[in-house]
């Protein structure tokens, strides 16, 4: 009995983890079927989204309400100019458009933002740089404080890595103005990509984001399931944000966007996702930056689940909606399950236990996730979707390799440790370019020479250990003839090795890039002094 009890618990952990991952695969399969069933979002919403609000852009000024475009930024030297310029070029009646740069920066970003704002002010565009005395509340705090000086009836939000197209507001605002739009609290549009072809990493990120928007968001929207605002490339009705039952922007999670959108829907407001309106954004070219982004998203979504889970379950939504909402908010919990499955599988085999081998493949051979990504690529790129979908193995390896970092994020959120808002650095790396652009101008060099390039964090030690652990597990299962477990453990070994060693390499490049930048600055300083003398 003393020996069988630990074995029983290991088998229980194994079974729970495997079935939890299978449930994730099932969710992806269901969403794929729902997206296939809905050829379009809804006929009414699609018609409205492509309309012109029944008036001329110049003559029918009364048809267009006032809109404030809020741009929360913090230390975004390379991209803030692109962001302001793109928003200033939005085609909307100038007397109804206000642009707020909510700048919490403590570097030269502020100088550049003020320069671009002054340029557009001279051209008649209302661009304001709003500064705070502290970063209290981070992005949520900046957005909430910005509302105090907001003139718009509607508020569009863009993060620093976006470059919205001129027609963005003319394709989103009419949704709110339609007879059926009185209860629409927010509109989310699809993220497109400025640099998907930069590397295999950006290809994999584009594949993941396309699947999320084209299939997951569209499926939830078309069936009336709750879904989340993605924090950027969307528009809010100001009355929804300020509704007492909603509570405004709140900073107690790191996903203030997801939190606010769920509170709004629980208060009776509707959200709409517009798949045919896209807003391009830059994908992180550095794996360590992508890793930080995923850590924040994982921590924020689980924190939102912790905050709102009980209210959702006890709320008035139908049971299927409540279940769908909880599964959605708990999506990043698959990473602790992946980690647990790795830890217990080799031990069970060493103890002579035969895990139910089909369980190891329930999530891996499920057609749900592969079909979801394939459908998204086919919808967006019908001619060459197989070439884009071929980066799925890279995405799978990244998912395995990030499971430790995202598990740490999930556990911190479950324990109520919100922590600081760690921004994802942007370098203005666009398709076919490997140069970042300080101050909005192209320079020689690569993103590794930017002061924003990230270094390693202690979690890399755990990733190296898990890579070695998975490799040892491969040896154990091969020596024991358990060939069915070998591909499963090899994915772990490859994923953790990829994340750890690419992270080490990138940090080495960044360190040498910063050293080279410092030497260049030192030579320039000496040259200037020599000229003066």
Q: Write a three-state SS string for 443-454.
A: CCCCHHHCCCCC
Could you say which of 45, 104, 126, 210 is catalytic? 104
Does this model's pTM top 0.85? My answer is yes
Residue at token pair 């000086």? 149
Residue 237 CA to chain centroid, in angstroms? Answer: 22
Beta 67-73 vs 97-103: how paired, if at all?
parallel
Could you say which of 103, 159, 161, 257 is catalytic? 257
Sheet of 67-73, strand order: 127-131, 97-103, 67-73, 154-157, 234-237, 184-193, 270-281
Q: CA-CA-CA-CA torsion for 400, 229, 219, 380, nearest 10 degrees? A: -70
362-382: string of b/e by CB count within 10 Å (b at 16+)? bbeebebbbbbbbbbbeebee
* The token pair that represents 148 in the structure block: 């105090």
Phi-psi region of 109 (alpha: psi -120 to 50; beta: other; left: phi over 0): alpha
Residue 395 in contact with residue 369, Cβ under 8 Å? no
Q: Please give the C-alpha separations between residue 186 and each of 47, 80, 157, 173, in angstroms, as whole numbers.
A: 18, 25, 11, 10
- 3-class state of residue 19 by DSSP: helix
Give the pLDDT of the chain (533 residues) as one tens digit per residue: 455 878 888 888 988 888 888 888 889 999 999 999 986 544 444 444 444 443 334 445 448 999 999 999 999 999 999 999 999 999 999 999 999 999 999 999 999 999 999 999 999 999 999 999 899 999 999 999 999 999 899 999 999 999 999 999 999 999 999 999 999 999 999 999 999 999 999 999 999 999 999 999 999 999 999 999 999 999 999 999 999 999 999 999 999 999 999 999 999 999 999 999 999 999 999 999 999 999 999 999 999 999 999 999 999 999 999 999 999 999 999 999 999 999 998 888 888 776 655 555 554 457 899 999 999 999 999 999 999 999 999 999 999 999 999 999 999 999 998 888 889 999 998 865 444 444 444 333 468 888 899 998 999 999 999 999 999 999 988 887 777 778 889 999 999 999 999 999 999 988 876 665 554 434 433 434 444 43
H or E element at residue 131: strand 127-131
CB atoms under 10 Å from CB of 244, counted, come to 7
CB atoms under 10 Å from CB of 486, counted, come to 15
Q: Please give the C-alpha separations between residue 230 and each of 66, 227, 301, 325, 519, in angstroms, as whole numbers.
A: 23, 9, 11, 15, 40
Q: Is 257 a catalytic residue?
A: yes
| Superfamily of domain 36-286, CATH level 4 | Spore Coat Polysaccharide Biosynthesis Protein SpsA; Chain A (3.90.550.10)
Residue 5 CA to chain centroid, in angstroms? Answer: 42
């Amino acid at each position: 009995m003393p020996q069988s009890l630990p074995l029983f618990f290991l088998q229980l952990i194994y079974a729970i983890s495997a079935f939890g991952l299978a449930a994730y695969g099932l969710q992806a399969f269901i969403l794929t079927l729902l997206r296939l069933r809905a050829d379009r979002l809804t006929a009414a919403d699609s018609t409205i989204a492509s309309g012109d609000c029944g008036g001329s852009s110049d003559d029918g000024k009364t048809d267009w309400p006032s809109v404030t475009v809020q741009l929360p930024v913090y230390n975004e030297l390379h991209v803030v100019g692109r962001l302001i310029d793109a928003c200033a070029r939005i085609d909307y009646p100038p007397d109804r458009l206000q642009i707020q740069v909510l700048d919490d920066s403590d570097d030269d970003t502020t100088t550049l933002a003020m320069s671009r704002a002054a340029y557009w002010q001279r051209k008649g565009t209302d661009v304001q740089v709003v500064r705070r005395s502290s970063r209290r509340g981070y992005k949520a705090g900046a957005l909430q404080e910005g509302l105090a000086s907001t003139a718009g009836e509607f508020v569009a939000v863009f993060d620093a890595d976006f470059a919205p197209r001129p027609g963005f507001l003319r394709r989103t605002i009419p949704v709110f103005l339609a007879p059926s739009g009185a209860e629409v609290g927010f509109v989310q549009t699809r993220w497109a990509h400025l640099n998907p072809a930069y590397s295999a990493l950006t290809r994999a990120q584009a594949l993941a984001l396309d699947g999320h928007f084209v299939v997951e968001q569209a499926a939830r929207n078309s069936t009336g399931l709750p879904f989340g605002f993605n924090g950027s490339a969307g528009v809010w009705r100001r009355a929804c944000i300020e509704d007492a039952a909603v509570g405004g922007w709140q900073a107690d999670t790191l996903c203030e966007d997801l939190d606010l959108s769920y509170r709004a829907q629980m208060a009776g407001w509707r959200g709409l996702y517009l798949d045919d309106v896209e807003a391009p954004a830059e994908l992180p070219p550095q794996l360590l930056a992508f890793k930080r982004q995923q850590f924040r998203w994982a921590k924020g979504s689980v924190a939102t689940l912790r905050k709102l889970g009980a209210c959702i379950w006890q709320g008035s939504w139908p049971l299927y909606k409540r279940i769908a909402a909880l599964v959605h908010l708990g999506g990043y919990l698959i990473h602790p399950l992946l980690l647990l499955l790795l830890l217990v599988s080799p031990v069970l085999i060493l103890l002579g236990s035969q895990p139910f081998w089909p369980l190891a493949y329930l999530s891996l051979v499920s057609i749900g996730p592969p079909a979801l990504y394939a459908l998204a690529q086919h919808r967006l790129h019908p001619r060459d979707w197989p070439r884009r979908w071929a980066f799925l193995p890279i995405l799978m390896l990244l998912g395995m390799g990030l499971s430790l970092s995202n598990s740490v994020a999930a556990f911190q959120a479950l324990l109520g440790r919100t922590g600081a808002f760690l921004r994802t650095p942007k370098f203005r790396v666009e398709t076919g370019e490997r140069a970042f652009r300080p101050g909005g101008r192209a320079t020689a060099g690569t993103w590794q020479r930017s002061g924003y390039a990230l270094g390693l964090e202690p979690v890399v030690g755990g990733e190296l250990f898990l890579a070695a652990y998975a490799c040892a597990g491969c040896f154990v299962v091969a020596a024991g003839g358990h060939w069915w477990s070998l591909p499963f453990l090899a994915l772990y070994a490859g994923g953790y090795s990829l994340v750890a060693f690419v992270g080490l390499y990138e940090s080495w490049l960044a360190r040498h890039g910063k050293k080279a930048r410092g030497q260049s600055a030192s030579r320039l300083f000496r040259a200037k002094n020599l000229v003066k003398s």
